[in-house]
Amino acid sequence: MKLRKFNQVDVFTAVPYKGNPLAVVMDGSDLSSEEMQHFAQWTNVSETTFLLPASPAGLAAGADYQVRIFTPGSELPFAGHPTLGSCHVWLQAGGQPHNKLEIVQECKVGLIKIRQEMGRLAFAAPPLVRSNPSPGVLAQVAAALGLKAHQILAAQLLNNGPTWLGLLLDNQQSVLQLQPNLVALKGLVAGVGVASVQIAQTAPNLIARSNREARAFGAGASKASDTDAAEPTVEVRFFAPDIGVSEDPVTGSFNASLAQWLIADGHTPPNYVAAQGCCIHRDGRIHIHQDASGQVWVGGDAVTCIQGEVTL
């Protein structure tokens, strides 16, 4: 064991202790996977990350550093708030990206681009593969969540490294009033996220419009910073008892895949703000922006709450 630099940061918030905490070990280069997993279980926050030098292949492809991501129960190939929080810590420690326009993070899912704009970090959502869940699993998940069939407007399996089940519900109250049976939910899916969309008064018929029209609606908001002053129009909750997370305060990977799905199917404009965490006394904000090329960016603030050393 040795002393290693350690940070705990709060992600998807500009106010300490209102977002999703992340434990970051600055140097994990000589730790085994088992040692990393044990420490992540001990920290007992939703994710713990370990920063390492980029692999030779990653370095050749432009990676600035490598990160490994663990929940209390398992390693993840990718996760959103660990991506932003780890990058925040790496930059604070003096990290210098090869490309001044973006930072490139290597993780199990591949290379993730991160950019800075107006003081906020945003990651490029990884490619999404989505499919329809089986009716049997969907019915079991709905029962575990206490949902009636009419409350579920749409459902998709969303894979951008991890695979989550996404449910689009009929209204915000359905999302906020959920009291899931976590014991019944365990073993059905790795994680399930629920969301509702509140349509802005300036676009009351947005859901009915085609994807092309939805893109046109957002054409005037061409920068991520255009969402800064926007009120949240998407409410999100996420449950993953199988990986040791009862309810996640703010879930970057799910919000990334959710945004790709909702934008593609015309449920939201290409720029919006999502809220997550209020049912567990958090106030997370996720800033979604789709650029002219179609790439979805997921942005959020990060603040350092603890700096020090850990014996590991």
Regarding whether 239 and 148 lie in a shared domain, the answer is yes
Regarding whether 86 and 214 lie in a shared domain, the answer is no
Sign of CA dihedral 299, 303, 309, 310: negative
The model carries a pTM of 0.88
Greater model confidence, 193 or 201: 193
Confidence of residue 13 (pLDDT cuts 50, 70, 90): very high
Regarding whether 158 and 36 lie in a shared domain, the answer is no
Mean pLDDT over 111-136 rounds to 94
Confidence of residue 200 (pLDDT cuts 50, 70, 90): low
Regarding whether 284 and 136 lie in a shared domain, the answer is yes
Confidence of residue 244 (pLDDT cuts 50, 70, 90): confident
Regarding whether 48 and 142 lie in a shared domain, the answer is no
- Tell me, yes or no, if 213 is annotated catalytic: no
CATH number at residue 137: 3.10.310.10
Mean of per-residue pLDDT scores for the chain: 91
pLDDT of residue 218: 34
pLDDT tens by residue, 151-165: 999 999 999 989 999
Burial class (CB in 10 A: 0-12, 13-18, 19+), 92: middle
Residue 126 backbone class (left: φ over 0; alpha: ψ -120 to 50; beta: rest): beta
Regarding whether 118 and 38 lie in a shared domain, the answer is yes
Range of the domain at 101: 3-123+301-311
Regarding whether 163 and 77 lie in a shared domain, the answer is no
pLDDT tens by residue, 211-225: 333 333 333 334 544
The answer to whether residues 86 and 49 touch, using CB atoms and an 8 Å cutoff, is yes
pLDDT at residue 201 above 50?
no
pLDDT tens by residue, 58-72: 999 999 999 999 999
pLDDT of residue 119: 82
pLDDT of residue 185: 97
The answer to whether residues 286 and 256 touch, using CB atoms and an 8 Å cutoff, is no
Regarding whether 156 and 13 lie in a shared domain, the answer is no
Regarding whether 212 and 194 lie in a shared domain, the answer is yes
Regarding whether 258 and 143 lie in a shared domain, the answer is yes
Question: Given 34, 35, 47, 235, which residue is catalytic?
Answer: 47
Residue 29 backbone class (left: φ over 0; alpha: ψ -120 to 50; beta: rest): alpha
pLDDT of residue 92: 96
Q: How many independent structural domains does the chain possess? A: 2
Amino acid at 292: A
Confidence of residue 207 (pLDDT cuts 50, 70, 90): very low
Confidence of residue 209 (pLDDT cuts 50, 70, 90): very low
Q: How far apart are CA 98 and CA 147, in angstroms?
A: 48
Regarding whether 156 and 59 lie in a shared domain, the answer is no
pLDDT tens by residue, 272-298: 999 999 999 999 999 999 999 999 999
pLDDT of residue 226: 54
Regarding whether 157 and 81 lie in a shared domain, the answer is no
Mean pLDDT over 87-94 rounds to 97
